[in-house]
Amino acid sequence: MKTLSVEDAVARIPDGASLMIGGFMGVGTPERIVDELVRQGRRNLTVIANDTAAPGIGIGKLVSARAIRKAIVSHIGTNPETQQYMLAGEMEVDLVPQGTLIERIRAAGFGLGGVLTPTGVGTPVETGKQVLTIDGRQFLVEVALRADFALVGAFLADYFGNLTYALTARNFNPVIATAADTVMVAAEHIVPVGVIPPDAVITPAPLVDCLIANL
């Protein structure tokens, strides 16, 4: 695990990368990393996240900067800019039911090829997907989702990279930390090893590749 400045960490993310970004309407999103992606002018990103937040908030900053080529999310109802770009054909949006989305990410984290779910059977969600019948019930085969980078927002990190989260900021963050080639973490506080009790660690240090140094 390396500790890097946010500038150096984001410099490792190329144009066209796929990013999983934690957060729910901006809560738990690593804003410092998002801001630096915008500042460095990244383009053609694929973003996998719960939502695209709102203009000026979290992932919404990447939308406003026209940095996203494709968004794989559960909803876009709170970001009119995402809706505008999707309808204009300027951003591809893959809308995935929320439970299916997180389970596809979890599947990748556990080394599985995908999940079976009844959600979406008989709806437009089914289009182009394999349908299996098991014990008389129909299930969609939803493939696992993995990314080049996971951008995680934590409350506490120690100098080894063990993480814990505050309240609802726990949302997508622990799961995406298992499902990317490189895991980058921005924590509100970095503390000495031992301050976080072992049984309070949610994301263990071996999953973390890069910790963003606090100013």
Confidence (pTM): 0.95
pLDDT tens digits, one per residue of 32-88: 999 999 999 999 999 999 999 999 999 999 999 999 999 999 999 999 999 999 999
* Residue 133 confidence (pLDDT) above 90: yes
Band of pLDDT at residue 214, cut at 50, 70 and 90? confident
* Residue 1 confidence (pLDDT) above 80: no
DSSP string, 68-120: EEEEEESB-TT-HHHHHHHHTTSSEEEE--HHHHHHHHHHHHTT-SEEEE-TT
Q: Which domains are seen in the chain, by residue range?
A: 2-112+145-212 (3.40.1080.10)
